[in-house]
Amino acid sequence: MTLPSYTTTIINAIYFIAAILFIWGLKRMSSPRTARNGIVWAGAGMAAAIIATFFLPGIHNLGWMLGAIIVGVGLSWWVGRRVPMTAMPQMVALFNGMGGGAAAAIGAVELIRLNMALAAATLVPNTYPIQPEAWAKAAAVPTLSPVEQVLAYIGVLIGAVSLTGSLIAFAKLQGWMDKRFVFPLQRWVNLVIFAAAVVCGVLALIAGLEGHAFAWGLLVAFLGLTLVFGIAMTLPIGGADMPVVISMYNAFTGLAVAFEGFVLQNEAMIIAGMVVGAAGTLLTQLMAKAMNRSLGNVLFGNFGAGGAGTQQQEIAGALKPIDAADAAVMMAYAERVAIVPGYGMAVAQAQHKVWEFARLLIERGVKVTFAIHPVAGRMPGHMNVLLAEAGVPYDLIADMDDINPQFPNIDVALVIGANDVVNPSARTDKGSPIYGMPILDVAKAKNVIVIKRGRGKGFAGIENALFYADNTRMLYGDGQAMAGELVAGLKTLDA
């Protein structure tokens, strides 16, 4: 079917509108109140871009495209409906990895097409067991410009790393493998893998730029090594660093999509990839800052190795337990209570019981606030998502900068599942692995109650000085069970 000459102009106009919808949707996602609406706007932009792409001149295999879309939409809808909010970090990591893998696959296919075209143009067809028609078809494939070839290789490298790195992050978050896997000289091994991948890619690139077909082994080695490097780079990273990891791989995926958009000369891919890459990079910087790490340390250092550090300051005091009934009484007669959730709350799936307890306190006239650390949980905004899923109103949620000045006036701070993000050693112990990391100033509250399953240390592998403070009491037990006992304790008071 011959399309009108102005079709490309219309398609580009639709891509421009889609770009506006992407940016508007991202803007709306910046607030929990408008995030759902922002997702709808961004989704509408993506739908428009996909539909417009079907009408691009020279598009083939429409049946395969439709089939892939139907399967992808069906699977994502089914998974999205079934996955609980507590497993949202895993799903984000998995879907992000699929995006990076798709970008890498696009680049790989274009490089394969390029090599076939170069081979057809430079070799004698009759000397190979390939039909002359196939050689002629390969020779007719437009070759990539030097810039497009460079971007194709970079896109494959970044996309492949994002794919396997995100899959390892998914496996760790899902509990299928150890949080950290460390062995001697690991950094040097990773460096050798990366260097080998770059060398294979550069050799193949040089051959392509000179108009020669490169050896298939170079391309296979390049793809394989980039996939292995993504695994190797993620293995030593612990669960506490997952917010940085997820946002970093999100940026990688966006950049890979943008690079392959240049290769395909597809404006929608370029714009969407750049938006995702920019947003992911900014988020990575914010997460790194919240953990007192530079972006360079996140990308090239052995982040996640905090456990290697040792405390220099001795912690005075003793752990002082409290039972749920007494803790409920203490908070029932308080004026202000701050609830500090962490990853332990997500593991225990205690957010609903915690919100039920908070509602009972509010009904008694207690002013309740939920205090959120930027990197609490396993992905950016993890605690916000869990609290929203439980029905906690947005105006009861305060971020670290807003709540920290208020802690001296808070009667009781209830910590459930948080550890390193409330550890005062980050401010006082220069020998601590977490020294300098911004924390919630829970220790300044008049009283602190910590719900903790046992006496174990946090991810950083150090004792929490907060737990030994004079104003702290430990409520040992499963987060959901202890929240339930607090609820029962309040109801007993009202009976």
Q: Which residues are catalytic?
A: 420
Residues in the chain: 495
**Which residues does 451 contact at the CB level (< 8 Å), separation at least 6?**
344, 414, 415, 416, 417, 475, 477, 479, 482, 483
Q: How far is CA 115 from the centre of its chain?
A: 35
Look at phi and psi of residue 133 and say left if phi exceeds 0, alpha if psi is from -120 to 50, else beta. Answer: alpha
Let me know: does 469 contact 448? Beta carbons within 8 Å.
Answer: yes
Angle at 404 between CA 408 and CA 461, to 5 degrees: 105
Residue 107 CA to residue 251 CA, distance in Å, equals 17
Place of tokens 């008049």: 446
- 66: tokens are 């439709």
**Which residues does 394 contact at the CB level (< 8 Å), separation at least 6?**
32, 33, 388
Residue 429 CA to residue 421 CA, distance in Å, equals 14
Q: Return the half-sphere exposure (C-beta side, CA atoms, 13 A cut-off) of residue 313.
A: 17
C-alpha dihedral over 77, 41, 167, 379, to 10 degrees? -110
- 435: tokens are 């020294």
- 433: tokens are 């692995």
Amino acid at 73: V
